[in-house]
Amino acid sequence: MKILQVALFCAAVACSTASYAQDNPQMNLPRTPITAGMYLIDTQVAATPDQRATGLMFRQHMPQGEGMLFVFDFPSEQCFWMKNTQLPLTAAFVADDGTIVNLADMKPQTTDSHCSTKPVRFVLEMNQGWFAQKGIKAGFRLRGPAFKNP
């Protein structure tokens, strides 16, 4: 019985999350600047359930130096997949103070799950390779109005 309850709960969560997603790219989200050392990232902010569910789905292109910051209400394990996402991306799972907890390269059009290794409130998605090209790894501290840092 417990297994059935868990399965029904998971199905309900998956259905409710799927119902938030739209079927075209969202291009006009609010923006906030994030700095990664000497690099400025022009960041769209996905803060509502609808915005987070759609994320970067259906995008054909994202300029270098641009990203999407997913903002959640409280820290928890965050897991992302790439269904309906056509761009190869890297997800930076970010703590409240802006410290990158871990990075995950994600292939387009897959349902593989990519998760934070610790509870986080933020996930920053960038074009795949952007972090590596800049030498940015886990432990690096991002700065910006979203994070609790000076």
Say what the pLDDT of residue 16 is: 37
List per-block mean pLDDT (blocks of 10 residues) for the chain, which spans 150 residues.
35 40 81 97 97 94 96 97 95 98 97 97 98 98 90
In 4-108, which ranges are E strands? 31-36, 39-46, 66-76, 79-80, 89-94, 100-106
Say what the pLDDT of residue 11 is: 35
| CATH architecture of structural domain 21-133 | Sandwich (2.60)
Say what the pLDDT of residue 21 is: 55
Say what the pLDDT of residue 22 is: 63
Q: pTM of the predicted model, to two decimals?
A: 0.84
Structure letter (DSSP) for residue 9: H
Q: Tokens 């569910």 belong to which residue?
A: 53
Say what the pLDDT of residue 103 is: 98
Say how many Å lie between the first and final Cα of the chain, rounded: 50
Residue ranges of the domains in the chain? 21-133
